Structure 1
């Protein structure tokens, strides 16, 4: 009579899959999104994709201060993009000077072909002549609360008047309260400029 043999033992069951891997992927995705926000200078405005040679807001970077697209701007030491951008920024500067605080031209500037401060890549909106900094020593990069509540309220009234084409650096993740930049498309900026000009 044949003897019964015991079946071979089964290998131990694989441990239940843990949620660690999916959670790690989710954490990595969050880090990438946050890093992208910092790379862009902290603003939540602007196009999703920026073409080569363009600034963060999608406008074409200008490499030479003698470029005929740039125009002298009386409110800063330097230039801004001519046309509708100059109209909008000029209106904003006039109101800022009269209602928020007097602009010191010697410590205010516009066009500069450079990356975003603190980054090696990504052109600043200053490089397209679509950003200005007013009274930089009074409102240093990274500092918040450099304006009084009353000044902020007046500044927000100016932003509302030219909405949706202008952003204030005080609203960025990394505060830049001296900074104002165009965030609208050329068509949107043209529409606001026409409204401001009474056209």
Structure 2
């Protein structure tokens, strides 16, 4: 199936095929799995103007951040410079390599708009959050990703060792959303960023070289999630 078809239209195709043939199968997860589309976006808890000088994760709000290239792609996104950029760009890069090719306009970063539908969306105001294809994986909707894509997401989160939170785990979900989960100055943020930078400086390591389905990594992700 063409990768140019977005995830929601792919699920509509699978659902239609299931109605005719009896079942639709997603590859690579051991047993056959049917992709199920959600009925539609659930209503977010609220839409309101974020108040205060810090985002929900404790980072100061900023008026401007640099736009930075997601390596390996032609896509750029505005994110806070330094360790935050190193981590969030790595997340986006792995999505690009292992889930689907990113295209211009598909990754949202820093914003100055204080309108949020969930507290975690305020993290865009501090430049510490990105949303990958938010129109395809909108707030309030679950089951937007195939099982094999979820394996990659869980592997990324495990690799980031608690420095990154995923909107798919939130009470009001947003599967496109990723943000820095720890506050400014937390040593783990610096440590994970240093680890990623080491991979970037050493050929054959890091994004583009990872097998999220390798049994040791699958076990580590299962332990991290539990």
Aligned position for 1:195: 195
Aligned length: 147
Aligned position for 2:54: 54
Aligned position for 1:98: 97
Distance 1:133 1:52, change over 3 A: same
> Which consecutive unaligned segments of at least 5 residues does structure 1 have?
1-37, 42-50
Q: 1:98 Cα shift?
A: 0.6
Aligned position for 2:147: 149
Aligned position for 1:139: 137
| TM-score for the superposition, normalised by structure 2 | 0.58
Kindly indicate whether residue 165 of structure 2 is the aligned counterpart of residue 174 of structure 1: no
| TM-score for the superposition, normalised by structure 1 | 0.66
Distance 1:156 1:60 in 2: 28
> Which consecutive unaligned segments of at least 5 residues does structure 2 have?
1-44, 200-226
Q: How does 1:103-118 map to 2 (within 5 A)?
A: 103-115=102-114, 117-118=116-117
Distance 1:116 1:102 in 2: 29
Which residue, out of 41, 66, 84, partners 1:71? 66
Greater gyration radius: 1
Aligned position for 2:161: 163
Distance 1:116 1:176, change over 3 A: farther
Distance 1:122 1:153 in 2: 23
Q: 1:92 Cα shift?
A: 1.1
Contact 1:116 1:122 in 2 (8 A): no
Contact 2:57 2:120 in 1 (8 A): no
Contact 1:97 1:103 in 2 (8 A): yes
